[in-house]
């Protein structure tokens, strides 16, 4: 059942942790994090919940912030792969991007105007139609391959990376720019508060006293390429996508299945397709949102399926970036494999006996050549990728 | 994966302005006529009512207990109804759903409940935002409800690529089955015509009029629509019976990749009365045998799924349906009158996006033994 590895030739990312991947990794290893109430938008909610707003970057005015994030990370990934536009244009390159808000027809100013009985300006609506993140990247680089925007909530960009590997193995593309992007705005902020799963202090994934998540925003892109494309274009494999698995809980719209059956299936499929045994896993970059339900289910599954394998959540550094989370965490995972070490799981202090296992509390050396990055989504989809060191 | 590598459509379920179920869709295709309903809005410029294809989900209670539907919105109900109709059409028993994958395509998503969520805090303050509306507003809510109510614990995926949502999602249908990740895929597309989308349509395109004539590109004749078209796909080895095979699914940009139109066979165009998109189809259809059925279900990003259903019915029945909008001098192509034998083993469905990207899905006649 194992599948052929697919090379990852370039990576890029932006979030609260940094404007690019090297800066982000330095920040993570220094243990820096600075969640704060949002400054880009206001809310009349009496509690000011902290969030992780991304560092400033150049935003094209005609795009939604999500599309701009996607483009920023894609440019870094393409440059990291050592490709110029001409070389890229000579390949069949697809785009597969996960998002949650990147193609949603909701714009508050427009809706307020309509509700007030006016005829609001259509510019925001047109901007949404222009900003589908896969289209934005395909247009920017003049790409000829398939394009797909995955909107499976928080597993979207893990799925996008897995799908990209499938397209390359099937011969649909020479290369794929795959990843995720999501912006943070009032609608998302208010929505998560309404669900009562946000923490009013900096998030504490897997901690006994965790109260919920902090939202974040950003993007990450990976440039995956076939072996012939690597050779033809002078790229080198920076790491590998070894395996991918996904499975549904079929349980609840917003809560994970208590027995973690969907996550177990996803991990099993990812390990099997990657041809990887549990004993050879160096570490797990967990979903670890900091919500009581997610961390309890995920921690128990890890304890059961991968006992003794070090794990962490990087959401303590970036917040929960929703549709971008899977990709951001995948590039962090690949970068950690390269460095042979992982940062401390930020926010964790007090062990939770209800989980029965602990994330790493300090920068930790991780010998080994492969690692897992996993995501759990609203709607019950669980997705896992296995990444390998080059 | 071993086997023939052939993928089969085992069941089709559709609900839209034409009615509910494959029998209603077949009747509409044969008659070549569906009268649209209407959508009434009260924007700032004054009340307006215009033609729109609306879909009725009342038959959903045949499949799902009313209590399970209490918090499920119109968008997800459309998808649930399409799903159940497809499963019933295929005769798939509950015992064979454990390795069922779910893939849903939608250009706009759950816009009605998204709008309701926004209203909940715009009207009453941020602290009064509705958690139920928010949870249901996520783009994959329909796929989630399908998985939960069917107990489908295979992978679940939702794709949103506007006009190319359907062909793009079909790439994954094909790969999931060929890779052996699942035994079957319940795939469908869904769109709801909420007040928000209706209003945006009205502002961008004006009040629509009837009838749609998508092969006449000089005027805008698109009528907004909602509906769901679902399919049960399986590998040929596991299929009980079926409509046709899924031969290829291609998505790309013609900019420097060429345009892989089939040399023979029937080309089913996704033109839907939008003038600017319709004009893009004309040169691509040159000298082809073409058909276009969008006047029966209207204009919506999920439209290519209805084209797929029409193509499946043609391949199964062996005869071409008439194109309701008629032929046109704008399209230098042959438009069959309808009723004649299909005369080919393959039908390709073409969908174009505003920026020139395309999706081309080719279905094939089942071998006689299938």
* Chain B residues close to A260, C-beta within 8 Å: none
Q: Write out the H or E segment, with its range, that includes residue A334.
A: helix A325-339
Provide the number of structural domains found in chain A.
Answer: 1
Using DSSP's 3-state secondary structure scheme, residue A10 falls into: strand
CB atoms B148 and A195 under 8 Å? no
Q: Is residue B328 part of a domain?
A: yes
Residue contacts between A and B (CB atoms, under 8 Å): 222
Neighbouring CB atoms inside 10 A of B82's CB total 35
Using DSSP's 3-state secondary structure scheme, residue A358 falls into: coil
Interface of A with B in 14-43 (CB under 8 A): 43
What radius of gyration do chain A's Cα atoms show?
A: 20
CATH at residue B100: 3.40.47.10
pLDDT of residue B256 exceeding 80, the answer is no
Listed residue (A142, A131, A90) closest to B253, CA to CA: A142
Under the banding of pLDDT at 50, 70 and 90, the label for residue B3 is low
Provide the number of structural domains found in chain B.
Answer: 1
Q: Is residue A206 part of a domain?
A: yes
Neighbouring CB atoms inside 10 A of A362's CB total 9
How much is the pLDDT for B94?
86
* Chain B residues close to A145, C-beta within 8 Å: 251-253, 257
Which tens digit of pLDDT belongs to each residue from B287-320? 889 999 999 999 999 999 999 999 999 999 999 9
Domain that holds residue A133: 6-389
Percent of chain B residues past pLDDT 70, beyond the cut: 96
Q: Is residue B349 part of a domain?
A: yes
CATH at residue A226: 3.40.47.10
Which tens digit of pLDDT belongs to each residue from B199-210? 999 999 998 777
Q: Is residue B294 part of a domain?
A: yes
Write the CA distances from B330 to A10, A254, B210, integer angstroms: 46, 50, 19
CB atoms A191 and B134 under 8 Å? yes
The pTM of this model reads 0.97
Q: How far apart are CA B182 and CA B176, in angstroms?
A: 6
Q: How far apart are CA A284 and CA A62, in angstroms?
A: 38
How much is the pLDDT for B2?
44
How much is the pLDDT for B255?
44
Write the CA distances from A36 to A58, A65, A202, A213, B211, integer angstroms: 22, 20, 8, 13, 55
Q: How far apart are CA A158 and CA A384, in angstroms?
A: 7
Beta strands in A25-138 (DSSP E): 51-52, 93-98
pLDDT of residue B368 exceeding 90, the answer is no
A320 labelled catalytic:
yes
ipTM over 0.85: yes
What is the DSSP-derived secondary structure letter of residue A134?
Answer: H
Q: Is residue B370 part of a domain?
A: no
Q: How far apart are CA B41 and CA A211, in angstroms?
A: 43
How much is the pLDDT for A260?
97
Under the banding of pLDDT at 50, 70 and 90, the label for residue B369 is low
| Average confidence score pLDDT of chain B | 92
Q: Is residue B1 part of a domain?
A: no
DSSP labels for B185-201?
Answer: EEEEEEE---HHHHHHH
* Chain A residues close to B108, C-beta within 8 Å: 105
Low-confidence ranges of chain A (pLDDT < 70): 103
As given in the structure block, the two tokens for residue A55 are 């560092």
Q: Is residue A277 part of a domain?
A: yes
Q: How far apart are CA B116 and CA B120, in angstroms?
A: 6
Domain that holds residue B160: 7-364
Q: How far apart are CA A115 and CA B49, in angstroms?
A: 18
Distance from CA of A29 to the nearest CA of B (A): 34
How much is the pLDDT for B42?
87
A-chain residue closest to B152, CA distance: A250
How much is the pLDDT for B370?
53
Q: Which among A13, A96, A154, A370 is annotated as catalytic?
A: A154
A203 labelled catalytic:
no
Q: Write out the H or E segment, with its range, that includes residue A177.
A: strand A175-182
pLDDT of residue B5 exceeding 90, the answer is no
Q: Is residue A1 part of a domain?
A: no
- B346, B365 Cβ separation under 8 angstroms: yes
């Amino acid at each position: 059942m194992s599948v052929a590895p697919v090379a990852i030739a370039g990576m890029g990312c932006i979030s609260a942790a940094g404007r690019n991947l090297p800066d982000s990794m330095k920040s993570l290893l220094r243990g820096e994090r600075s969640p704060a109430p949002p400054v880009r938008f206001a809310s009349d909610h009496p509690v000011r919940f902290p969030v992780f707003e991304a560092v400033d970057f150049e935003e094209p005015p005609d795009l939604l912030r999500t599309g701009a994030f996607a483009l920023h990370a894609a440019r870094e990934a393409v440059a990291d792969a050592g490709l110029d536009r001409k070389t890229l244009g000579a390949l069949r390159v697809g785009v597969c991007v996960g998002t949650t808000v990147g193609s949603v027809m909701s714009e508050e100013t427009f809706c307020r105007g309509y509700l007030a009985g006016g005829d609001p300006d259509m510019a925001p609506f047109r901007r949404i139609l222009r900003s589908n993140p896969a289209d934005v990247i395909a247009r920017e680089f003049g790409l000829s391959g398939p394009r797909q925007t995955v909107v499976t909530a928080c597993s979207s960009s893990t799925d996008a990376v897995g799908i990209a590997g499938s397209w390359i193995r099937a011969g649909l593309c020479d290369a794929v720019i795959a990843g995720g992007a999501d912006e943070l705005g009032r609608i998302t902020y208010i929505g998560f508060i309404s669900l009562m799963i946000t923490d009013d202090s900096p998030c504490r994934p897997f901690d006994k006293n965790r109260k919920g998540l902090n939202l974040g925003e950003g993007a990450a892109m990976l440039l995956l390429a076939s072996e012939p494309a690597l050779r033809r274009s002078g790229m080198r494999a920076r790491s590998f996508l070894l395996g991918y698995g996904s499975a549904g809980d079929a349980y609840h719209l917003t809560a994970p299945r208590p027995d973690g059956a969907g996550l177990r299936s996803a991990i099993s499929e990812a390990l099997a397709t990657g041809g990887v045994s549990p004993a050879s896993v160096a570490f797990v970059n967990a979903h670890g949102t900091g919500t009581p339900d997610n961390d309890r289910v995920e921690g128990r599954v890890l304890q059961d399926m991968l006992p003794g394998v070090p794990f962490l959540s990087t959401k303590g550094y970036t917040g929960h970036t929703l549709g971008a989370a899977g990709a951001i965490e995948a590039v962090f995972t690949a970068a950690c494999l390269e460095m042979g070490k992982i940062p401390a799981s930020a926010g964790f202090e007090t062990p939770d006996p209800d989980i029965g296992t602990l994330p790493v509390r300090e920068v930790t050396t991780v010998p080994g050549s492969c690692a897992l990055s996993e995501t759990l989504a609203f709607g019950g989809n669980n997705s896992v990728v296995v990444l390998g060191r080059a | 994966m071993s086997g023939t590598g052939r993928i089969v459509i085992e069941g089709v379920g559709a609900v839209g302005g034409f009615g509910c179920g494959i029998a209603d869709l077949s009747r509409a295709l044969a008659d070549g006529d569906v009268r649209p309903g209407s959508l009434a809005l009260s924007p700032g410029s004054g009340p307006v009512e215009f033609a729109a294809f609306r879909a009725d989900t009342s038959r959903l209670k045949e499949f799902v207990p009313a209590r399970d539907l209490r918090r499920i919105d119109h968008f997800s109900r459309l998808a649930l109804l399409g799903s159940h109709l497809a499963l019933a059409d295929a005769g798939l028993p509950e015992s064979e759903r454990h390795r069922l994958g779910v893939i849903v395509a939608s250009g706009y998503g759950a816009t009605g409940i998204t709008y309701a969520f926004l209203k909940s805090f715009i009207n009453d303050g941020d602290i009064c935002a509705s958690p139920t509306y928010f949870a249901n507003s996520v783009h994959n809510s329909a796929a989630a409800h399908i998985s939960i109510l069917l107990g489908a614990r295979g992978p679940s995926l939702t794709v949103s690529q506007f006009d190319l949502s359907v062909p793009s999602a079909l790439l994954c249908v094909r790969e999931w089955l060929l890779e052996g990740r699942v035994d079957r895929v319940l795939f469908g597309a869904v769109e709801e015509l909420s007040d928000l989308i209706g209003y945006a349509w009205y502002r961008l395109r004006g009040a629509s009029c009837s009838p749609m004539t998508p092969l006449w590109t000089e005027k805008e004749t698109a009528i907004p629509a909602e509906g769901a078209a679902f399919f049960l796909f399986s590998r040929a080895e596991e299929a009980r019976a079926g409509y046709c095979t899924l031969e290829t699914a291609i998505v790309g940009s013609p900019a420097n990749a060429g345009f892989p139109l089939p040399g023979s066979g029937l080309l089913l165009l996704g033109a839907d009365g939008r003038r600017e998109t319709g004009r893009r189809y004309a040169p691509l259809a040159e000298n082809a045998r073409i058909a276009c059925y969008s006047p029966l279900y209207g204009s919506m990003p999920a439209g290519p799924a209805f084209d797929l259903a029409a193509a499946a019915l043609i391949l199964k029945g062996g005869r071409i349906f008439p194109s309701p909008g008629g032929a046109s001098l704008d399209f230098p192509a042959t438009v069959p009158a309808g009723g004649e034998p299909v005369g080919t083993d393959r039908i390709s469905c073409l969908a174009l996006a505003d920026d020139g990207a395309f999706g081309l899905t080719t279905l094939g006649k089942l071998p006689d033994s299938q």
